[in-house]
Homo-oligomer: A and B are copies of this chain.
Amino acid sequence: MGENIPREYPATVPHHHPFDPIRPDEISLATTILKASFPGVNLRFKVIDVKEPIKKDVIPYIEAERTGQPLSPPPPRLLFSYLHRLDTHAFLKAVINVDTKAVISLKELPSHIQGPVDVDEMIGLETVCLQHPRVIEEIAKLQLPEGVTVCTDPWIYGTDDENEHRRLVQFYMFIVPVDHPQSNHYSLPCTFSPVLDANTGELVRIDYLPTGGDHSTTETQPWKPVKAVEYAHDLIETPLRQDLKPLIVQQPEGPSFSLDGQLVQWQKWRFRVGFNYREGLVLYNLTFDGRNVFYRLSLSEMTVPYGDPRRPFHRKQAFDVGDVGLGITCNQLSLGCDCLGHIKYFDGFRIDSQGRPVHLRNVICLHEQDAGILHKHTNYRNGQATVVRNRQLVVQMICTVSNYEYIFAWVLDQAGGVEFETRATGIMSTIPIDDDKGLDLPFSTPVGPGVSAPFHQHIFNLRIDPAIDGFNNTVVYEDSVPLVPEEHGIDDPYGVGYVARTTVLDRAGFSDTNVELGRVFKIRNDSVINAISRKPVAYKVQTVASQRMIMSSRSFNARRARFHEHPVWVTRYQDDELFAAGEFTNQSRESTGVDKWAARGDDILDKDVVFWHTFALTHNPRTEDFPVMPVEKLSVHFKPSGFHEKNPALDVPSSQQAVNKSTLVEEAAKAACCN
Contacts and interface: CB of A to CB of B under 8 A. Distances in A.
Given A336-B656, A377-B628, A533 B623 contact: yes
A627 interface: yes
A343 interface: yes
A168 to B, nearest CB: 16
Interface stretch (A274-282, A478-486, A577-585): A478-486
Given A339-B662, A532-B448, A622 B651 contact: no
A493 B314 contact: yes
A162 B229 CA distance: 64
Interface string A196-219: 000000000000000001110000
B386 A307 contact: no
Nearest to A547: B518
Nearest to A239: B651
Interface centre among A307, A368, A520, A625, by most B CB within 10 Å? A307
B391 A247 contact: yes
A237 B618 CA distance: 49
Contact of A495 (B483, B488, B492, B552): B552
Contacts of A254: 245, 665, 668-669, 672
A12 to B, nearest CB: 23
B248 A660 contact: yes
Nearest to A339: B662
Contacts of A545: 515, 545
Contacts of A508: none
A38 interface: no
A96 interface: no
Contact of A378 (B331, B377, B513, B661): B331
- Using C-beta atoms within 8 Å of the partner chain, give the interface range for chain A: 35 or more
A533 B622 CA distance: 8
A447 B207 CA distance: 65
Nearest to A374: B630
A172 interface: no
Contact of A417 (B490, B517, B628, B630): B630
Given A307-B498, A344-B665, A660-B246, A653 B241 contact: yes
A523 B589 CA distance: 42
A649 B665 contact: no
A645 interface: yes
A630 B336 CA distance: 30
A370 to B, nearest CB: 5
Given A378-B331, A386-B231, A480-B455, A550 B623 contact: no
Nearest to A253: B245
Nearest to A643: B624
A496 B624 contact: no
Contacts of A556: 494
A432 interface: no
Contact of A657 (B335, B405, B492, B664): B335
B385 A497 contact: no
25 contacts: A182-B377, A182-B386, A214-B489, A214-B490, A215-B490, A233-B654, A241-B653, A254-B672, A329-B380, A344-B664, A373-B398, A375-B630, A376-B407, A376-B425, A376-B426, A443-B497, A480-B618, A482-B551, A482-B552, A496-B552, A498-B551, A545-B545, A622-B641, A623-B644, A627-B650
| Top-7 shortest CB links A-B | A336-B657, A495-B552, A309-B497, A518-B547, A307-B498, A309-B492, A442-B499
